[in-house]
Structure 1
Amino acid sequence: MAPTRRASHAGSWYTENGFELNKQLNNWLSAADLTHGPARAIISPHAGYSYCGACAAFAYRQISPVVVRKIFILGPSHNVRLPGCALSTATVYKTPLYDLQIDQQIKKELVDTGHFDWMDMDTDEEEHSIEMQLPYIAKVMEDFKDSFTITPILVGSLTPEREAMYGKLLAPYLADPQTLFVISSDFCHWGQRFRYTYYDKSCGAIHKSIKNLDQTGMDIIEKLNPPLFTDYLRKYANTICGRHPIGVLLQAVQSLRETSNGQRMSLKFLKYAQSSQCNSMSDSSVSYASASLTFE
């Protein structure tokens, strides 16, 4: 029997009731505008849907499901130390809406590079960064649910050099108009419980300082310049948990630019939110942001 990854976070991070989940996702998507599509890649948050579901909709709204046939999901590893990237041993990922099929051909191609490890099923099911993208993918692609595959990739704590290596490996897939990249990332995790309390008092309230810090990072990501993003992280140490998946995307874009006679691409952030507004040093919050990458 083919290994299946269960929807292990359903019921806690989002509703496991397929009817209610479908209704929620539909409402959030209906409230989001299509302003920067069709997306070839998106950046989407991965917290509980009660916190970031509305924000994530702005990224997923930019997808053209009639075009997409292959979806890569790059999520950061929260639970295991990983110096590289790892692939799922599963062939199917379950969601409360319908099952998603993992692309066995692409998985073989990636394994054959010698640069990918495997995550065991326990690691796979414990990790929420990939799973939180699955219901949204299922919803957006529901009219074509038998016509697309997914390739989940768990991204570890990569050096800039390894981000460049993986970006170069994945660039040919990004070049395919039928392929979509989903980059799973929350933004600043602020507060003593996250051991991060950067505060620029010139911004006013703490939550305004956090927003300014995130906005600076988002502006740099929009420039599609990997070294600038690396420098920003070194300067501020902003706790963007998907910084390495974002770095891999930026490197893939740079690799494509170098090999495709200056292919024009545009990345824009479309929505930003915070789980709560921090006003004292005892408060805490997590930031969420949604973005879309298009090819011109």
Structure 2
Amino acid sequence: MSRNLEKLLTGLSAKKADLIILILTSQNIETRVERKNKSFDILVNHADMKKALIMIEAYYKENKFFKLKQQLQEIPISSFKSYTAFSIMGLLWLIHALCLQYHIHEDMILKYGASALFILQGETYRAVTALLLHSDARHLAGNMAGMLIFGAPVITLSGFGVGPFMLLFAGTLGNLINAHMHKTAHLSIGASTAIMGAAGLLVAFQITQKAKPFRLNILMPIFAGTVLIAMFSQGEKTDVWAHVFGFFSGLGSGVIFFPLNRMLQFPQKNLIALFITIFIIASSLLAAT
């Protein structure tokens, strides 16, 4: 008869609960499951608590190479549930459509594009505004897809306000570094620098998930990120260096931002971050007038 039962794990999905039960029963550890709405709690005897935790930890250590970042708590990162990402995509489309409608497309690129020459002369706002401009419909569609694939998960993981700020920061920093490297009349536009920044941020999220000693497998997400750079840097007019600097800007800033975001827990955090993001974009658009 079961007695002295204590909760071992809580809030598990049905699939995860089945796996934990299988692990524990294989070690002759008595378990009981309690259902709460759509989640499940696992209970074991107090005397078996330590052994159960050791068995579960051992299982995940042995199987870490077969699944990418297995965790007891699942993190929902569906791209199609991020309304903020769709709002950003809508903004990019609206700006491109208005430029074509009023026949100011070329003028906007010259006035707001990331010109290395003008950025080095003090027009740093171009590093922000260039992210909003695209050369044609194909360029725009590619970056909108990138926002859905990479940007939306970043926003879901970090918040509706913090996420866009992180994307803007990575994209802007990537454009600034790119301008300082060229130091010529090099001109770059498009949200792809921020998209690659999002890929870097996702790598940073994987790296900062758990405080562990350095191991070679920690570098695996970085190797995956470099493959992404190669895949998304094809095309005659592609600014490869902007992609590279965007990715590493996201990676470097994400290593700082994600732990900081976990530490700062207050209700207005995302609203403040969203306001700052909108303020930076609005100020940059007005800077040239």
| TM-score normalised by L of structure 1 | 0.22
- Bigger strand fraction: 1
Higher relative contact order (CA 8 A, sep 6+): 1
Q: Which has the larger radius of gyration?
A: 2
| TM-score normalised by L of structure 2 | 0.23
